[in-house]
Structure 1
Amino acid sequence: MLNGIGGRTVAEAQANLSYNEALSWMAYVEQNETLNLGLKIERGFALLATILNNLHGGKATFDDFLPKRGEVAEEVEASAQDLFRLLQSVKR
């Protein structure tokens, strides 16, 4: 468990954590979105990157700097003409 809060194991936490404590933790998680330190760091860097981008004239949004997790990438099929244009654009 997080820093031994409620116990060292999930079973100990369930045995030792009162209903009011559980409600307090739920309120904390709802307010702060996550207890995962890695996700908080990612969000902090995304915020910093957004601010720097906007200061230097960029138009990026906060979501542009967050990793895309679980989103299905849109697949676009290329035609033979598209491939031919790509090959023609390459200079020797």
Structure 2
Amino acid sequence: MLNGIGGRTIAEAKANLTYNEALSWMAYLEQSGTANLGLRMERGFALLATILNNVHGGKANFEDFLPKRGEVVDDAETSAQDLFRLLQSVKR
């Protein structure tokens, strides 16, 4: 279930939460955002990175530091020559 609200399963939540409690939780989540701790931490670190970047003269936006979820990324074709150049650039 949603972060343990009402129980660990949907059946437990249905048994433990009243309709009014469910509405209260829904209103709380709409106001405060997700209850997922991982997503909250990602947003917090993205905010911190944005502030630090801007303080030091950077032009990055908040969204630049968030993970790109659900976006399709076109994989560029890489030739053997490109790989060779990359390896040469890090050669000791």
Work out whether the TM-score is over 0.5.
yes
The within-5 A match list for 1:2-81 is 2-3=3-4, 5-74=5-74
- The 2-side partners of 1:58 and 1:8 are apart by 44
Greater relative contact order structure (CA < 8 Å, 6+ sep) = 2
Partner SS for 1:6 = coil
Partner SS for 2:26 = helix
User: Bigger radius of gyration, 1 or 2?
Assistant: 1
Q: Tell me by how many angstroms 1:31 deviates.
A: 1.2
**Alignment: residue pair count:** 82
Specify every segment of 5 or more residues in structure 1 that has no aligned partner in the other structure, as ranges.
none
Q: Tell me by how many angstroms 1:66 deviates.
A: 0.1
Given residue 38 of structure 2, which amino acid in structure 1 is its aligned partner? G
Give CA deviations for 1:18-64 in whole Å, capped at 9, x if unaligned: 11100111011111221110000000000000000000000100000
- The 2-side partners of 1:42 and 1:8 are apart by 24
**Could you tell which deviates more after superposition, 10-19 or 39-48?**
10-19
**Could you tell which deviates more after superposition, 13-22 or 51-60?**
13-22
Q: Tell me by how many angstroms 1:75 deviates.
A: 5.7
Given residue 12 of structure 1, which amino acid in structure 2 is its aligned partner? E
Between the two proteins, what is the percent identity of the paired residues?
A: 72
